[in-house]
Amino acid sequence: MAGVKATPGQGAVGIAEVRTKSTAIILFGSPGSGKGTQAKYLVEWLRIPQISTGDMLREHIRSGDAIGKAIVERMRAGSLVSDELVNQLVFERIHQPDAERGFILDGYPRTTAQAEEMMRLLAAAEAREVVIHLVVDYNIIISRIAGRRVCPKCGTLYNAVSRPPKTEGVCDLDGTKLVVRDDDREEVVRERLAQYERQTQPLIEFFRATSERMIEVDASHDAPEVVFERIRVQLKDLVRQ
């Protein structure tokens, strides 16, 4: 990911230094809140995998398998896919060996049913959750997503304003022509935000009520590096408890 580097002196902290048992970091925020970028920083810092349900679902669509065919229309329309499907995908993924020491959930859970299932999964896996809520303003999200481009080859995200590629329209890393993700089109973005308000916002209340480890970070104005520093400071305090 372009520009995602541990800043000098920060180093990569082994997960063992900041926790005593397996930790599930739940990265929470509306579409366009910077979840993906912050997840990449966290991966680099903690050396645990990012589990993005959006990426897993897009991979099924790309591969053209039965799951991909079943979900392609809902994804295009910006609607959520079924709880059963994402719960199953996450269940399988968190039991892979690389997720043993912990993992970062990006885009999951999105509904109360998913959150309840996730808490059961984590209890069974003896993992504890740390919830990070990226708080952003609605209008800022719309303008941010409108400028968003992705490299179809390596997945690096760019933004016309906050993270432009060195050469307009081209990936810094592999020179591939950047594209607008299907679900970043404006009408789809509005639908995704409406979905978020309706189904996911209540989860913030759910976690406020049920989780002892929740961080709420202002992610509206500052550069991703600054937002990450805020997360890092609070996270260190939390996982040491």
The residues in 100-119 that bind ligand AMP, with binding defined as CB under 6 A, are 107-110, 114
Q: Which long-range contacts link 142-149 to residues 24+ away (Cβ below 8 Å)?
A: 142/32, 142/186, 142/189, 142/190, 142/193, 144/32, 145/31, 145/32, 145/184, 145/189, 146/186, 146/189, 148/32, 148/180, 148/181, 148/184, 149/178, 149/179, 149/180
Residue 49: C-alpha distances to residues 73, 103, 147, 170 (Å): 28, 5, 27, 27
Binding ligand AMP by CB under 6 A: which of 44, 137, 183, 229? Answer: 183
What is the C-alpha to C-alpha distance for residues 196 and 231, in angstroms, rounded to an integer? Answer: 22
Q: Is 137 a binder of ligand AMP (CB under 6 A)?
A: no
Binding ligand AMP by CB under 6 A: which of 192, 206, 217, 239? Answer: 192
CA 61 to chain centroid? 19
Which one of 110, 128, 213, 232 is the catalytic residue? 110
Cβ atoms of 33 and 139 closer than 8 Å: no
- Give the binding range for ligand AMP (CB under 6 A) out of 21-29, 79-87, 162-170, 207-215: 79-87
- Give the binding range for ligand AMP (CB under 6 A) out of 6-14, 73-81, 155-163, 205-213: 73-81
| Min dist. Cβ of residue 78 to ligand AMP (A) | 5
Binding ligand AMP by CB under 6 A: which of 29, 34, 40, 54? Answer: 54
Binding ligand AMP by CB under 6 A: which of 38, 50, 53, 156? Answer: 53
The nearer residue to ligand AMP, 168 or 197, going by C-beta atoms, is 197
**Residues with active-site annotation:** 35, 110, 148, 181, 192
